[in-house]
Structures are given as C-alpha cells and as structure tokens.
Chains A and B, each alone.
Chain A
C-alpha cells in the first residue's frame, strides 16, 4: 500500500501532462458549432449579383460549401484563390456578411467570382442564425440541407484534405 502511494504523485503528474499536452494542440479560438446536424436556418435575402430572392429552398440540392466572407476581411482574400480552385470540385455558395453592396461587388470584380450563388446579408442576420463569430467561416451542407461541418478561418489545401474532404466523401 505504502509503496503504491509513492507512485501516486507521478501518476497525477502524468495525467496533468496529458491534459496540458492536449491543451497545447487545441485552438481555443475554435468552437464547436451548435448547428452541426441541424437544418440550414430559414432566411429571406437577395442575391448580390442578380437581385433575386434567395431562401433555404433555393440552395443547391447537392452537397455544397457555404463560405462566409466580406470585403473587409483580409483572410477571405487569402483563401480566395484556393476557393476558386475548389469551386470546380464542389459548388460554393457565398454569404456576403456585413458588407456593402458596392464594396462586395468591387471585390468580386477584382478577384473573380467562383460562387454559385451570392447571399447578400448586410445586417449579418443570417450570419447570426448560423452562429458565425467572424469571417471567414465555411460550412459544409449536405443534399438535405443539413449542416455537417463548420470551419473557422482560412480554407486551404490542408484544411480541405484534413477536415472537409473526409466529411464530403461520406455524404456524396
């Protein structure tokens, strides 16, 4: 019994090291989304480019990515070339978040428009319903309109390969 007790501090220490080690590799800025497994929120907004009314029913009925972006968002500019490339593999719906029409249109004109649709959400209402904390964020939505994945921050080849691709393969 006494011999065993001598090992206890080491055991406690090992458990603590385990927790801290895990903590080191976790990104505290990344929160699990409350909307995973939930249907896409109801909305009634317009398309930035065509002015058409958009709602949950007009979203693609195949798996797609919803990319939350704004012209004031630097990281959105960084991920834009990769999204353009990615749009050949999977449809990307844009959610222009808390932006002005003019700035958003200029941005797309300058950098190119890979988006299948462009939901214009100047007040950030839909963003709020999606639990968006800040642009960029990207959601994976399946063919039934259910949200499957949320990525906070830049989407690049690594994030796509590690996070998005595996989920996309299971729902396609």
Chain B
C-alpha cells in the first residue's frame, strides 16, 4: 500500500515537471543537442535573466518552437541566431559577438584588473622606495 502511494507520488510529480517544457521529436541526437545548446544561448526577451531553454514564459515557448522549426528546416546555428537578433536585438544573445559596441563588455573587466595590478605594483615600489630612503 505504502509502496503504491509512493509510486503514485513519484509518477505524479515527474508528470508535472515534464509539463513545464514541451517535448519535441528530433531527427538525430545531434539536432537535439543543437536545440538544447541554442535554448541555453538564447535569452528570453521578457525575463530578467533566463535562457529560453529554462524559462516558462509564453514567449520563450514560442521562441523554442521557432528554433525547433528552423532546425528541422535545416537552418544553421548562425542563421537561427541572426533570425532572433533581427527581431529581438542583441539582448537575446547570451554570448554577444566581439565588435566595437561590445568592446567594453569583453575587455572592461580584464582591463580593470590589469589597471589595478599596475596601481598595486606602483604603490609597492613607492613605499619600498620611501622605506629605503627612510632607512638610510
């Protein structure tokens, strides 16, 4: 008895999880992998910070369906991304391409780190010099 209840609970629970994201039939495991990867790289335009692959928003479902349709029609990953960017802007890419507009985004953090390191080195040298001078 207890076992049956437990089983029903497990089955019921897994069903409700499955209902969150619709299932698709793929031509090949490679295609499925690309679908999964694109769902991870494309960002939901309505959400704060979620990929379309793990968002429950209506629009994410629509975009997943669109990705699926394009995959089945033989579109390349770049074609699918370009399609999304043409409609939803750069915002939909979690991995924006490197160009003038995204230069700061790509190199800003590294640049700041280098700048900080230079400042630290300068500071240490300075205090060393002051110490040496004070010592003599």
Contacts and interface: CB of A to CB of B under 8 A. Distances in A.
Contacts of A124: 62
Nearest to A33: B89
Contacts of B126: 2
A158 B89 CA distance: 26
A74 interface: no
B87 interface: yes
Interface in A26-59: 28-29, 31-35
Interface residues of A, number: 17
A130 B88 CA distance: 8
A170 to B, nearest CB: 23
B72 interface: no
User: Interface majority SS on B: helix, strand, loop or mixed?
Assistant: helix
Contacts, number: 39
Contacts of A28: 48
Interface in B6-48: 45-46, 48
A131 B87 CA distance: 4
A171 B101 CA distance: 29
B58 interface: yes
A128 interface: yes
B48 A133 contact: no
A33 to B, nearest CB: 7
B42 to A, nearest CB: 13
27 contacts: A2-B126, A28-B48, A29-B46, A31-B45, A31-B88, A31-B89, A31-B91, A32-B89, A33-B89, A34-B86, A34-B87, A34-B88, A34-B89, A34-B90, A35-B87, A98-B58, A124-B62, A128-B87, A130-B87, A131-B89, A133-B45, A133-B46, A133-B59, A134-B46, A134-B57, A134-B58, A134-B59
Given A128-B87, A133-B59, 10 more contacts: A31-B45, A33-B89, A34-B85, A34-B86, A34-B87, A34-B90, A131-B89, A132-B59, A133-B45, A134-B58
**Ordered nearest first, which 6 A-B pairs have the shortest CB separation?**
A34-B89, A131-B87, A133-B45, A133-B46, A131-B88, A31-B91
